[in-house]
Amino acid sequence: RRKVKISDISWNATGVIIAAAYSKPDHEGICSHKSMICLWALFKRNFKPTRPDVINTPVYLINNCRIVSTVSAFTQKAIIIACGSYTGEVLLYDYSRQEEQLIAKTTVDDYFHRDLITKINWWAFRPPGKPDTNYNILSLGTDGKILLW
């Protein structure tokens, strides 16, 4: 049985929490193994580097097709995390929720990613003459697509 390894990390908006995506680097096709996202509060008094103090949900396991390859914490709200998967899905999690932490996801379609997402990032854009900033997600996949969500 092979262990999962860190595939990506991201600091949250406040800079005190780090999110790490764990997955199997040799992932292929449909599988039964699991991946996880861990959140650590690095500046808590009881934080120990050899035994991370995981916040809210001790370890969140993402089953089967939602094998996480990349993770990006939202730049404005500390507890929102976007993830990219090996199957091409973009997933959005809210770790302030006790249940139903998955708040949005894409599907696999001709116009979306159909393969591994290698990078996911938040993009802030303020339209000219508008007071509010729009926040979108950019994803890059091995299918050759760069998508704006």
Return left, alpha or beta for 32; rule: phi > 0 is left, psi -120 to 50 is alpha, else beta: alpha
What tens digit of pLDDT does each residue of 30-47 get?
666 667 787 777 666 655
Calculate ∠ Cα 133-135-137, nearest 5°: 160
pLDDT at 12: 80
Q: pTM for the whole thing?
A: 0.78
Place of tokens 């159909």: 114
Q: What is the pLDDT of residues 59-85, one digit of tens each?
A: 344 444 467 889 998 877 767 889 998
**What residue ranges in 27-133 does DSSP mark as E strands?**
35-41, 60-62, 68-73, 80-85, 90-94, 102-105, 117-125
Confidence (pLDDT) at 46: 57
Confidence label for 2 from pLDDT (cuts 50, 70 and 90): low
